[in-house]
């Protein structure tokens, strides 16, 4: 893949290595949003079909991206927290059960489990990384598999750690979860779109994904997949459009008890959002055209030369087999002054994030090796 920078409106004067914070908007996505906005100048332009068509296309694109056959198992959500709360509120736990999470994972995938375990008397177990940096990712994965034991009812985690990029082997985690009868709930927000995700191989019960990072969409829209375990679940809200036959606007007050098929009962009210849905759809079409495996390859080409230099200067970065190419943490050498480094990086107009003990770097298809080298030069020049 070649640089895709021309598809974005990023300024030349700064370096954006921070897609894990928020993706920049593609020109075609911006155009779709403006078109959606203009449509409502005259509401006659908004037809009944418009309430359903784009959302359905969007479900198909996401189903394709995560390798799910039935697109009616995919729903539009407003945030990852909404999708994760939907999952948690449809799981019943008892005293003695355990929910397994990863140490310091993103709060949207912690609070719903904190509530569920507190209310049921179940235990919340957060699997910590080892103290040492040697074989950190590998050992952390081993600890995770070991923590999934009889009595574990839920395993909820991301494919990569949001702060340092450690990759968790979801195929193995899925196998182990099925062995003990635990549900597997994935927060794909920091990986899906940039890292290949195969629902057929992983067999998750739910996959939740905010749209504004690696799906390259706008803010306040995301997508979620719910498997058969949630088929008789109760949605967070009761909205008319999720009821069977809602396409017949004249018959809406013939109230129905049945929901739309698959997982559509969980879709957010006003899911037809005429601005955000077309934007998200354009973004996903492009992501699917690129293909996450090529995005990984491109991100690798951006950082391939710079990472060995950083390592020579005492910076620590996880081995390739235990991290994504699109998101990784850089741990500072002993004695380095993090505040000074942060200031210098900012001064040079380089955008990265600082999360916990790590500088989080997250390139994408608009970055170049030269841009990453700019960051490398700042780091090796700052004592």
Binding stretches for ligand PLP (CB under 6 A): 79-81, 106, 108, 158, 162, 187, 189-190, 210
The two beta strands, 123-127 and 98-102, are: parallel
Q: Minimum CB separation from ligand PLP for residue 380, in Å?
A: 28
CB 111 within 8 A of CB 81: yes
Among residues 14, 332, 11, 303, the alpha carbon closest in space to that of 342 is found at 332
Of residues 218 and 306, the one with the C-beta less far from ligand PLP: 218
Q: Minimum CB separation from ligand PLP for residue 191, in Å?
A: 9
Q: Minimum CB separation from ligand PLP for residue 197, in Å?
A: 14
SS3 (DSSP) at 189: coil
Of residues 122 and 223, the one with the C-beta less far from ligand PLP: 223
Q: Minimum CB separation from ligand PLP for residue 40, in Å?
A: 25
Question: Angle 68-71-73 (CA atoms, 0-180°, nearest 5)?
Answer: 85
Q: Minimum CB separation from ligand PLP for residue 210, in Å?
A: 4
Task: Report d(CA 110, CA 72) in Å as an integer.
Answer: 27
Of residues 269 and 369, the one with the C-beta less far from ligand PLP: 269
Of residues 10 and 22, the one with the C-beta less far from ligand PLP: 22
Of residues 18 and 189, the one with the C-beta less far from ligand PLP: 189
SS3 (DSSP) at 98: strand
Render the burial of 45-66: b for 16+ CB within 10 Å, e for the rest.
eeeeebbeebbeebbbbbbbbb
Task: Report d(CA 328, CA 135) in Å as an integer.
Answer: 15
Residue 181, Cβ density class (10 Å: 0-12 exposed, 13-18 middle, ≥19 buried): exposed
Helix extents (H) in the chain: 27-39, 53-66, 80-88, 111-120, 136-147, 170-180, 199-202, 276-290, 292-303, 306-312, 338-347, 369-381
Q: Minimum CB separation from ligand PLP for residue 223, in Å?
A: 11
| DSSP calls for 319-365 | -GGGB-SS-EEEEPPTT--HHHHHHHHHHTTEE-EEETTEEEEB--T
Of residues 199 and 376, the one with the C-beta less far from ligand PLP: 199
Residue 92, Cβ density class (10 Å: 0-12 exposed, 13-18 middle, ≥19 buried): exposed
Of residues 16 and 259, the one with the C-beta less far from ligand PLP: 16
Task: Report d(CA 330, CA 364) in Å as an integer.
Answer: 17
Q: Minimum CB separation from ligand PLP for residue 80, in Å?
A: 4
Q: Minimum CB separation from ligand PLP for residue 79, in Å?
A: 3
Of residues 109 and 286, the one with the C-beta less far from ligand PLP: 109
Q: Minimum CB separation from ligand PLP for residue 244, in Å?
A: 29
Of residues 226 and 259, the one with the C-beta less far from ligand PLP: 226
């Amino acid at each position: 893949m070649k640089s895709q920078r021309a598809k974005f409106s990023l300024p030349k004067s700064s370096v954006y290595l921070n897609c894990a914070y928020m993706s920049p908007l593609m020109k075609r996505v911006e155009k779709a949003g403006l078109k959606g906005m203009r449509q409502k100048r005259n509401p006659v332009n908004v037809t009944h079909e418009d309430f359903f068509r784009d959302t359905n296309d969007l479900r198909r694109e996401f189903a394709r991206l995560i390798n799910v056959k039935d697109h009616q198992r995919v729903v539009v959500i407003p945030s990852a927290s909404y999708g994760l709360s939907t999952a948690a509120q449809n799981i019943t736990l008892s005293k003695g059960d355990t929910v397994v999470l990863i140490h310091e994972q993103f709060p949207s995938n912690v609070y719903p489990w904190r509530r569920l375990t507190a209310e049921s008397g179940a235990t919340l177990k957060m699997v910590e990384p080892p103290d040492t940096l040697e074989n950190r990712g590998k050992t952390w994965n081993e600890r995770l598999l070991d923590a999934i034991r009889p009595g574990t009812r839920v395993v909820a985690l991301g494919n990569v750690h949001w702060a340092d990029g450690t990759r968790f082997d979801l195929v193995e985690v899925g196998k182990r979860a099925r062995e003990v009868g635990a549900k597997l709930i994935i927060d794909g927000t920091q990986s899906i779109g940039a890292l290949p995700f195969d629902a057929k191989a992983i067999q998750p019960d739910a996959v939740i994904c905010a749209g504004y990072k690696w799906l390259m969409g706008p803010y306040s829209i995301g997508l979620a997949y719910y498997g058969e375990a949630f088929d008789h679940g109760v949605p967070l809200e009761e909205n008319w459009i999720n009821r069977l036959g809602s396409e017949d606007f004249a018959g809406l007050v013939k109230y129905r008890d049945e929901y739309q098929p698959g997982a559509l009962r969980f879709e957010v009210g006003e899911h037809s959002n005429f601005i955000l849905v077309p934007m998200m759809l354009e973004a996903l079409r492009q992501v699917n055209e690129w293909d996450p495996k090529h995005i990984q390859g491109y991100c690798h080409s951006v950082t391939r030369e710079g990472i060995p230099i950083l390592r020579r200067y005492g910076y620590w970065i996880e081995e390739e087999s235990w991290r994504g190419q699109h998101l990784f943490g850089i741990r500072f050498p002993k004695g380095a002054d993090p505040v000074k480094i942060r200031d210098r990086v900012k001064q040079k107009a380089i955008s990265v994030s600082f999360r916990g003990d790590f500088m989080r770097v997250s390139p994408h298809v608009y970055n170049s090796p030269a841009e990453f080298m700019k960051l490398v030069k700042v780091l090796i020049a700052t004592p």
